[in-house]
Every structure is written in structure tokens, then in C-alpha cells.
Structure 1
Amino acid sequence: MSNDKPGADGVETIAPENRNVPTDVAPTAAAEAGKIDISFSPGLSSFLKTNDISIGFTSYQTGRLYLIGHGSDGKLAMHEAVYPQAMGVTGDASRIYLGTLTQIVRMENVLGPGQTANQVHDKVYVPRNLQTTGNVDIHEIGIQDNGKIVFVNTRFNCLCEPSLTHSFKPVWKPEFISEIVAEDRCHLNGLAMVDGKPKYVSAAARSNVANGWRDRRDDGGLIIDVESNAILAEGLSMPHSPRFHDDRLWLLNSGTGELGWLDPADRRFVPLVFFPGFLRGLAFHNDHAFVTLSKPRKGHFEGLALDGLLKEKDSTAWCGIQIVSQSTGKLAQWLRFEGAITELFDICVLPGVQNPITLGPNSVEIRDFLTIEPSAI
């Protein structure tokens, strides 16, 4: 089953007053970034309201964390904050974790029940801890049952925990990786948590040489069981974002533009739906899958089946979000970027959140946005 490109009928755009642009970027830098147009399906705001959720997603290309919610006026609300090379993101109503170029950021919601900011925002996520890792190419992040962070260290081909004294602490690597060195050998990129533990990872290839995965982008991809080290699936094309949901191991076969799951009987990838773009982020809420799509960096997806599939379907590549039913694959809602932004990365669903906002660590607002923890004195 495939998604057809949504038509123009009923398309809405985000008005400037409902799009909070960060104030931590100089005007010249903002101008150089170019114009960005945002359109979305007419039912997206009501969909978020009905499901009592907001969405967070990242773009490493523009260095932004985006939050999408819904206002009391029924309009879609969007907020963005600057975080260099924003990538892996996970969160809930109380907290958001984000991987950036050199740090793992923990943001805390500082509003209590019933409180609002500017009379419209029910959550304000403020960066309270920024732990420096250096440039290790952080991809996805998981939170373990003991509260510790685990993240995909793509540059060093391993799963890691943050260290109090060093850049990171390796906790697992694929058996075919011989040593922990700064060589992106297999392009380890995705992480699925199960019961508070890292359980499945995705990689672009089994390579044990620097950048060896680049020669196997079309069919070298694999899914690995972290606990047993067993390779559960091979022959995939640039797989990303494994997720365990409703007793299925889901993943994005990015090189073919497909969302699907692994059949446990024969370890075969079963595609559910085709998307017109390169896929990197996946989240679930109830029956719906939330997927981020990106355009190609050089005009086309060299060496990937996705190029031919787009031509076959007479479609152009997207940058944006599509929300589909996991039971039918049918498109439910969407949001699309045009202009200067062409690539997104990760996405998370924030249950119980209506209209969130976050403050970038270098923003003007954060200097004077002060809160005090209740005390007995």
C-alpha cells in the first residue's frame, strides 16, 4: 500500500502569530537560512486535540527542535528552539531529552498542574542539564528503567551511557566491531527500548572498516538483538528507528521509503506503507505511526531503490511528517516543509500536552526566565 501525495484542497499554513521563532539567532543568520513555508492537513490540530498529544521533532540540518501543539483557538501552534545538530529526541509531559552536536540535553517542564505561560502554553521545557560528549554523532536516545540515559554513538559504533568524567561510557557494541574507535564503520543509528532496557538496534551494514557501510547502503542493513547479539534481519536498505509496539518490531527501511515490521517466523521485513522521502524518525501513539520524511541531499537518492520508486509513482520527495494508521497504512494527517529546510531526523509524541514551548540554552528568554523550587524556609 502506498501514500499518494496529499492534494492542495483544504491545505492550511501556519500563520506567523502561531509560529514562535527563536530569538537566539542573529538577523543575518536567520536571513541566510532562507525562507521556510509550512503547510499541513486541515485536521491536524483537531487530531492532536482529540488524542491529547503534542509532537516534538528535530532537524540536524537547521539545528532546531520543533514542538507542534494546538491552541485554545483551535489553530495549530508551532515553536522552535536552536540546538546545534539536533538529532535524537525522546520525552513525555514532564521531560524531554535531546542529542545535539556535542551534548545530551535534559529539559524539564517547570509549570505545575493548571499553570500556563503567556496564558497559552501548558508546558515550558527548560534545559536544566547539558552534558558534554563531544562530537560522537549521537543518533537515538533511550531512558533505562534505572533512569540512566543510553544513546547510539554512531561515530564509535556502540551504545553508550554518559560519563561524569569522560566523553562517554561504552556499554555494548556489535560483535563484528573489533574495537571502540572513532570510525563510523557500520553506521549504527537506531535504538528500540523494551521494558526500560536497550533491546534492538539498526545498522546500515556489518562493516568493520571506516565508512565501510557506505558501499552497502542498498542491501547491507541489519537489525541486531542487543541482549543475544543475534542478527534478526539482513538485506535491508539503510534501516532506521526500530520500535517495539503492540508486540511487533517495527522499523523504517529508509532506502526503499517503507514502514513495516519484522515477521518473527522468517525474520522477513513486511512493508506496510510507502512514503515519498527518506525516513529517519518513528513514534507511535495508539493506532497511529508518526514518521519524519526528508528530501535527498544532492537531488536524488544515489544507489537506493527509493529513487526508482519515486519515479514509478510519479512523486517528488518530501520533507515533513506523515501520520498513518498502523493497522491500515492509510494517511491520517501530515505536515510539510518547503524551502530552506529539507531534512528532519527524530520524532516523539508528548502525551497529555496541549501547547508546549521550550527555551533554547542561548536564547534571550532564558536569561530572565527564573523559577524557584518550593522550599521549607
Structure 2
Amino acid sequence: MNSAPKPFDCEYSPQFAELLHKLGISLAISTYQANKVIVLSAIESDKLIQLPRTFNSPMGMATAKDSLAIATRNEVIVLRNNSGLAKSYPKKPDVYDGLYVPRSRYNTGYVAMHDMMFGEDGLAIIGINTLFSCVCKIDHQYSFTPIWKPPFITELASEDRCHLNGLASENGEIKYVTALGNTNSMQGWRDGKMNGGIVMEYPSGKIIKDGLGMPHSPRIYDGKLYVLNSTQGELIKIDPETGSHEVICQLGGFARGMSRHGDYLFIGVSKLRHNSWAFKDLPIAESSFAGVVAVYLPYGSVVGSFKYQMTVDEIYDVKVLPELKRPSILSPDMDIHQQALSIPGAALWGASDKPKQPTTINN
């Protein structure tokens, strides 16, 4: 008799675990619906392990060298990987080869930050501020500093006018952005969300592709523009000159979140909201699931998948953590992160700031 699924129960193809193990990488997955960032690793060629950590509605993430930035409901949190702290982690010494520890927290307020990237210096954070329909800079001076908005957006307002969401960068510069509509009224994109999605050239704002179904996660790989045509569950390649596109493969769910390592793409997929009349007639309505699929880009084929059975229904972002076979991550709600100290040239674990409880002796 099969037992009922437990929280975060999952199933995966043997090829998926084998691929992570062979590549020597791990994945970071953000799920705002479950309030988690999950680190997924292969500890053997046929066995996956996951570490779910609590963050408040995490969505977009960015990586640069040993840094990981996570956009949460009201903050952007920057974590730093330290192998020395990982090796001496008090709870599991000599188990992890990396440990991401919170180092900076920027109070943005609720702005619905989506895709993000680090600047060329590896310090500045640039992101899509969806609520205010702009690209912005995040630092210690302001809640955010607007640096660009689509030409059709007339003013900055907390109205999610076009659901600006994704950015594609090359050599540290933004080249393209995606939005769910060419609209300039409060949540105006919702009326045409099934086929009103657009891709814009940056910074001109020229619309190079329209008619898409809630596009997300534009990326430039080998000089070519790839986009997730989310409601159709498709990975597509767009020709910016002609606006034509080619379907690379079907992904089986609402596609959102994409990262590359070598010839492989790791793409997040989410379950469709089955109680929504807008989604019920889509081709992926019955097959959609929450998880990650691996795509071999030279052939445009799915070569493995990881699927949640419980807890996780929606995924926003997926990031490859290169050269880390089994990293861990500490979230701000874990007291032990306050003891993780790093200084130039050294890493050490400090004492807990909690007072020790007096010992009681029973006579």
C-alpha cells in the first residue's frame, strides 16, 4: 500500500540526477508560492537531495561568482558562498562544499521584483520592478532607483501596468526585456494576457515580438535570443530582425525560470491554476506539473525532469550553481547564520548570542 506523499516529495528521471552529478553542479529554485528557495543536488549518479529554506515570497534571483541575490516580498537579500564555513558547518562538518550565508539586505518595500542581474562589478543589482513597470537599480541609498521604463509607460506608479518581468543580458548589459502587455493602465495587461505578451529591445523599447502567451525569462545564449512562451509551455528562439520565432521544444507546463550550463538548459515549470477559466483550454492544462526540466540545447530535446508531488505548485526562477556538488544555504530565519563570520582571508563560526540556560541539579 502506497503511503501518502510528504511535504516536498518528488519524483525524477534517472537521467536528471545523472546529469547534475556528471556536470558537478547544483540548482537553486525559487518558489514564491511555497515561500522557499530550494537547493537541489545529486549526491550520487542516481540520487537527488534537496534543501528547502524559508524566504518570504522569493521570485527573481541573480548569480555572480560566489554571490546569490534573492528578491523577496519586501527585500533583496544577497548571500555569499564560503567554502571554509561549509567545511566547518557545526551541524554537518565535512558534508557541504559550499555554504551561502546572508550578507546584505536591501529594504525595497513591496515592488514585486522579478528578474535580476548583477552589474559588471559584481556588486550593483539591476532588476525588473514589476509593480512600477521599470528597470531599476538596488542599493543602500533608496528603495530603488528607476533607470528605464517602456516608452508606452507614461509615469511611474504602483500599478503593474504592463507586467514587465524578464530581462536578457549579454556581457553585463541588458539587451531585451519581456512584458505581458503593451498597456499603460492599472493592470491593463490582464485583459489580453493570453496573447498580448511582448519582447522589447533595450534601451530603445522597440517591440520586436508580440502575440506571445505570458512570456518570461528571456536569455541570450551564443548570441541568440531564447524566450519561454509560458502559457504554451514552449521554449522558443526569436529572430530580433524579423520577429519570427522557432519552437525549440515543448516543456509540459507553464514555463518560467531558465539557466544554462554548457549545452544544457534547466527550465522551471509550474502547474496551471486549474480553477482559472483562462487556462482550462490550454494544451498543457492537463499535463502541467511543478518542477524542472533539462533540455539539451544542440538537439532541442528534453533529456530529464524533476517533478514535485506535494507542496510546490509554482516556480519562478532557476539558477545553476556551478562547481558545487552539494552546497547548503542559510536563510535569515535560521539563527545559526548569525554565527557564520567571514573576514578577509578567514572564515570562522562565532559564539551564539543566546544566553546559556542554567544547569539544574536535582538532589
Question: For this structure pair, what is the TM-score category when the shorter chain's length is used for normalisation?
Answer: 0.7 to 0.9
> Taking structure 1 as reference, are residues 116 and 323 closer, same or farther at Cα in structure 2, changes over 3 Å only?
farther
Q: Secondary structure at the match of 1:214?
A: helix
Question: Structure 2 length as normaliser, TM-score?
Answer: 0.87
Q: Secondary structure at the match of 1:44?
A: helix
1:258 maps to: 234
- Paired residue for 1:57, among 29, 34, 38? 29
> For residue 167 of structure 1, what is the amino acid of its counterpart?
S
Answer yes or no: is the 8 Å Cα contact 1:184–1:210 preserved in 2. yes
- Paired residue for 1:326, among 279, 297, 300? 297
Please state how far the C-alpha of 1:290 moved relative to its aligned partner.
Answer: 1.1
Matched, 1:339 2:310: yes
Aligned-partner Cα distance in 2 for 1:358–1:53: 15
1:203 maps to: 179
Q: Secondary structure at the match of 1:213?
A: helix
Answer yes or no: is the 8 Å Cα contact 2:63–2:117 preserved in 1. no
> Taking structure 1 as reference, are residues 257 and 75 closer, same or farther at Cα in structure 2, changes over 3 Å only?
closer
Please state how far the C-alpha of 1:184 moved relative to its aligned partner.
Answer: 0.4
Matched, 1:307 2:281: yes
> For residue 254 of structure 2, what is the amino acid of its counterpart?
F
Aligned-partner Cα distance in 1 for 2:43–2:182: 47
Q: Secondary structure at the match of 1:229?
A: coil
Please state how far the C-alpha of 1:363 moved relative to its aligned partner.
Answer: 0.9
1:83 maps to: 55
> Taking structure 1 as reference, are residues 259 and 72 closer, same or farther at Cα in structure 2, changes over 3 Å only?
closer
Give the alignment's Cα RMSD to 1 decimal.
2.2
- Paired residue for 1:282, among 231, 237, 258? 258
1:126 maps to: 101
Q: Secondary structure at the match of 1:255?
A: helix
**Percentage of pairs with the same residue:** 32
> Taking structure 1 as reference, are residues 351 and 36 closer, same or farther at Cα in structure 2, changes over 3 Å only?
closer
In the TM superposition, 1:345-364 aligns within 5 A as: 345-364=316-335
Aligned-partner Cα distance in 1 for 2:255–2:333: 30
Aligned-partner Cα distance in 1 for 2:345–2:121: 26
1:48 maps to: 20
Aligned-partner Cα distance in 1 for 2:300–2:334: 40
> For residue 329 of structure 1, what is the amino acid of its counterpart?
G
Structure 2 residue runs without a partner (length 5+): 347-363
In the TM superposition, 1:1-377 aligns within 5 A as: 35-71=7-43, 75-92=47-64, 94-112=66-84, 115=87, 117=89, 118-147=93-122, 148-297=124-273, 299=274, 302-304=277-279, 307-310=281-284, 315-374=286-345
> For residue 308 of structure 1, what is the amino acid of its counterpart?
L
Aligned-partner Cα distance in 1 for 2:319–2:8: 22
> Taking structure 1 as reference, are residues 230 and 35 closer, same or farther at Cα in structure 2, changes over 3 Å only?
same
Answer yes or no: is the 8 Å Cα contact 2:102–2:337 preserved in 1. no
Please state how far the C-alpha of 1:242 moved relative to its aligned partner.
Answer: 0.3
Answer yes or no: is the 8 Å Cα contact 1:71–1:120 preserved in 2. no
Aligned-partner Cα distance in 2 for 1:42–1:328: 20
Question: Structure 1 length as normaliser, TM-score?
Answer: 0.84
1:183-203 Cα offsets, whole Å, 9 max, x none, are: 101000001111101221000
Aligned-partner Cα distance in 2 for 1:228–1:249: 17
Aligned-partner Cα distance in 1 for 2:94–2:16: 22
In the alignment of these two chains, the number of paired residues is 338
Answer yes or no: is the 8 Å Cα contact 1:252–1:280 preserved in 2. yes
Aligned-partner Cα distance in 1 for 2:81–2:114: 23
Structure 1 residue runs without a partner (length 5+): 1-13, 15-33
1:195-219 Cα offsets, whole Å, 9 max, x none, are: 1012210000000000100001122
Answer yes or no: is the 8 Å Cα contact 2:86–2:328 preserved in 1. no
